Chain A
Amino acid sequence: MIAALLALTPAEWETLWLSVQVSLLATAAVAGPGLALGWLLARREFPGKLLLDTLVHLPLVLTPVVVGYLLLLAFGRSGVFAPLLDALGVEVAFTTLGAVLAAAVVALPLVVRSVRTAVELVDPGLEDAAAVLGAGPFRRFRTVTLPLAAPGVVAGLMLGFARSLGEFGATITLAGSIAGETRTLPLAIYQGTQAPGGDGAALRLTLVSVLLSGAALLASELVVRRLRRGSGEGQT
């Protein structure tokens, strides 16, 4: 497998690097909203909660092509937000930004679910104790809820990263498959299988994908274990 990595062509290296970049950016982009939404769904009751819950989780059950098409309708060149994007000078469709957006939207529900479950497992009594000690909502979240939910949060982010890495349908619909810009690993592999003589490239990139995803899972598991030890889990 190492040999396969070493034998990558410059174009394939570029694809790998682009994939990692897109996935990291997508994960970074969903971290904030994922934490906020996960906490909100775990800890607060408000009108429209069910609707928000459904909306956030929709990309999980919709086929990614539909997600991509909906994003295109919203952010495409003649989409709903086109005037706004024009004013800002930002282009989404068929750009790297579009690939990041597509990956982020499909990764979001995974992050939200993990964060929500992790926050729900934190004893609200500890947050009450922090409140009585003078900690406002933000400090309670930062010093009590987040550290105790950290293993779940990290696991969620890793899951989101892995999902971004594998994103295909939404990406190709919103961002197309432009080499060096939006052609991430899955798109390049698909391209390889379609083009005559592309089997070698497809195989090499497949191996790279397996390695990368496996490494991400392993790293996540190690980090989660470390956090669990630190957060006092297993307390009697």
Chain B
Amino acid sequence: MSALEIRAAVRRGGFDLDLDLSLGRGVTGVFGPSGAGKSTLLHAIAGLLPAEQMRVTLDGELLVEGARGQGPPAHERGVGLVFQDHRLFPHLTVERNLRFGASADRGVEFEEVVDLLELRDLLQRLPRGCSGGQRQRVAIGRALLAGPRLLLLDEPLSSLDRGLKRQVMPFLRRVHERFELPTLMVSHDLSDLLALSDELLLIEGGRAAGQGDLRTITTDQSAVELLAGSGLSFSLPGRMLRRDESGLGWVTLELREGRAAPEVACAQVAAEEGDDVEVILGPAEIVLAVPPLDARLSLTNRLEGTVERVTRTTARCLVHVDCGLVAPVLAEVTERAVERLKLEPGTPVVALFKAQASRARALGSSRAPSAGHSGQPR
């Protein structure tokens, strides 16, 4: 699984970054508080910051090696970096920006990238004539066309408002599906990362504080400390059934095996009937109850299951509930609730949540926005 190995030591002023990572081939979401060293890591890998030590291998093949501030210069590293502030060349058209790093022998087709990122209509514009979301798409395309072996995304969404973010995210997913480039994506927005990454890497104070998919990482006490309070969310895959008169979207959740698939209602839905969707929930929104349940309860979203694990931190407890779904349901409860309900692995519970607390959105690239929706130049 560990296709990408990174050994990085960077010293900057009083800050000390020291990481020894074994990552997968997919998208690794790098999360941590500001000043944790996330961007420093990316810039040092790309060769824009000197590193005490830097060694990156991909499937055993050496990509970058350097020590004591020496190493191959940035332009020889074959590493793609997309900056937070897009950094398009203001004096060049979108097309010339895209072609800046492109070379014929890198195996990435100009036309393909233009189509994938829906940049055709922008080619002759200058960057200042493009909207924020469009600029960021051009920046992603430009990085891809240079044919990198490793793609680094430094807060690619943070300069965009929510609406634009939603327009760019499907493109990032498409890029990964098409090019299967090992990717490190830094963000301070956990929900962005959870939506786009295969696994998470948590960094705090220049050290790795946890690594793994959401299921694994939320069983780690220190990781939970870091994640909780940062908008931790989890998603349950399913299929959009219908939308009722009141506007609620009904979703059947995907099961591992057997049992009748539960239906849940979601208040905010960005999907059409029949779409594969994910239902996104926050652990703080989940109520746990021990059956039998009083029938006179307004909550209709009920998922029956058993407690898989209880992770205690200083402030809260994160309970993993196995409801037979492909992913566990995470519930954040107080220590007192854990004791009162005697929650421990094996305890049968019902996880309850309001339709208002959940949203569903279409998965993957099947429903990417068209370029026409990308807004006006800002």
Interface residues of A (CB under 8 A from B): 123, 125-126, 128-136, 140, 143-144, 147-148, 230-236
User: 26 A-B contacts, Cβ less than 8 Å apart?
Assistant: A123-B87, A126-B87, A126-B90, A128-B48, A129-B81, A129-B83, A129-B87, A131-B48, A131-B74, A132-B46, A132-B79, A132-B143, A132-B146, A133-B101, A133-B142, A134-B78, A134-B103, A135-B101, A136-B73, A140-B75, A143-B89, A148-B91, A231-B91, A232-B128, A233-B90, A236-B128
Q: Is there contact, CB below 8 Å, between B75 and A134?
A: yes
Interface residues of B (CB under 8 A from A): 46-48, 73-81, 83, 85, 87, 89-91, 100-101, 103, 126-128, 142-143, 146, 378
Question: A131-B74, A232-B128 are known contacts. Are A125 and B87 too (CB-CB below 8 A)?
Answer: yes
Cα A147 to Cα B91 with chains together (Å): 8
A-B CB pair tally, cutoff 8 Å = 73
Q: Kindly report which residue of chain A lies nearest to residue B126, judged by CB atoms.
A: A232
Question: A135-B100, A135-B101 are known contacts. Are A232 and B146 too (CB-CB below 8 A)?
Answer: no
Cα A55 to Cα B190 with chains together (Å): 54
Question: A126-B87, A126-B89, A231-B90 are known contacts. Are A133 and B143 too (CB-CB below 8 A)?
Answer: yes
Question: A129-B83, A132-B79 are known contacts. Are A230 and B91 too (CB-CB below 8 A)?
Answer: yes
From residue B85, how far is it (CB to closest CB) to chain A in Å?
A: 7
Overall SS of chain B's interface: loop
List, in ascending order, chain A residues with CB within 8 A of B81's CB.
129, 132
List, in ascending order, chain A residues with CB within 8 A of B74's CB.
128, 131-132
Cα A126 to Cα B86 with chains together (Å): 9
Cα A100 to Cα B87 with chains together (Å): 42
Query: Which single member of A130, A136, A234 contacts B100 (CB below 8 Å)?
Result: A130
List, in ascending order, chain A residues with CB within 8 A of B142's CB.
133
Q: Is there contact, CB below 8 Å, between A135 and B90?
A: no
From residue A43, how far is it (CB to closest CB) to chain B in Å?
A: 14
Q: Is there contact, CB below 8 Å, between B91 and A131?
A: no
Q: Is there contact, CB below 8 Å, between A125 and B85?
A: yes
Q: Kindly report which residue of chain A lies nearest to residue B96, judged by CB atoms.
A: A143
Question: A126-B89, A133-B143 are known contacts. Are A236 and B378 too (CB-CB below 8 A)?
Answer: yes
List, in ascending order, chain A residues with CB within 8 A of B83's CB.
125, 129
Q: Kindly report which residue of chain A lies nearest to residue B43, judged by CB atoms.
A: A128
Q: Is there contact, CB below 8 Å, between B100 and A232?
A: no
From residue A114, how far is it (CB to closest CB) to chain B in Å?
A: 19
